[in-house]
């Protein structure tokens, strides 16, 4: 189900009242279909909104440009984070949604973290799967100016992840926590790919969230 909105996307309406809507953000090479099955597993009954990243790298969709593995074009990160936040606002109006919980994997988790930093009003929380710090010059978290007070964040990292250094993931958790978010970080015995433990932890965490209110 789609409408005329600025991202190619899929939308599935909620099947259960009060469930938080889920914004699904794929990794490099994915598309709007990629995480829909995951959304159904971790948030049964929730509305699912899944956009396709607009940036192409070797023909593979992403949500922002990178200069090399782990080296981001931070000007593009900022531009794309605002673009995605504007899409979320338009989709909320079009579909009658509360602020969604982002569930992002890899590149999708990184853009979700950037939206949390730059446009915190766009999201009610986030599940960040294999995320790293998206902006080296993020707004000053210690000043508490990011509007993240009380927003829940689940950060699931892989102890054997060859792409995301463990200290980088820990730094992201600290940055969001210093900004007032309620961060839970778990380091799993996994690499960059997702495991059943990710599914179980994300499902249980989302199940504990407060009911959505549009």
Active site residue ranges: 106, 161, 192
d(CA 155, CA 105) in angstroms, rounded, equals: 10
Q: Write the CB contacts of 11 (distance below 8 Å, at least 6 apart in sequence).
A: 1, 2, 3, 47, 48, 49, 50, 91, 95
**Dist CA 8 CA 2 (whole Å):** 8
CB 55 within 8 A of CB 76: yes
Structure tokens at 19: 């469930």
Instruction: Kindly give the residue spans of alpha helices, DSSP state H, lying in 74-134.
Output: 74-95, 107-118
Do 132 and 168 form a contact (C-beta atoms < 8 A)?
A: yes
């Amino acid at each position: 189900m789609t409408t005329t909105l600025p991202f190619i996307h899929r939308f599935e309406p909620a099947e259960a009242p009060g469930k938080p809507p889920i914004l699904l953000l794929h990794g490099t090479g994915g598309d709007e279909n990629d995480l829909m099955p995951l959304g159904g597993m971790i948030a049964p009954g929730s509305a699912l909104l899944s956009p396709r990243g607009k940036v192409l790298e070797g023909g593979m969709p992403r949500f922002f440009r990178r200069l090399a593995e782990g080296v981001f074009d931070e000007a593009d990160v900022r531009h794309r984070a605002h673009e995605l936040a504007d899409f979320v606002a338009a989709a909320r109006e079009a579909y009658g949604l509360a602020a969604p919980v982002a569930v992002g994997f890899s590149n999708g988790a990184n853009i979700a973290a950037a939206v949390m930093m730059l446009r915190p009003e766009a999201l009610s929380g986030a599940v960040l799967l294999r995320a790293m710090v998206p902006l080296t010059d993020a707004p000053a978290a210690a000043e508490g100016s990011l509007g993240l007070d009380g927003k829940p964040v689940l950060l699931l990292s892989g102890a054997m992840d060859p792409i995301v250094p463990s200290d980088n993931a820990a730094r992201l958790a600290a940055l969001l926590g210093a900004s007032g978010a309620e961060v839970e970080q778990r380091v799993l015995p996994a690499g960059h790919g997702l495991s059943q433990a990710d599914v179980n932890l994300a499902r249980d965490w989302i199940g504990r969230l407060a009911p959505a209110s549009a």
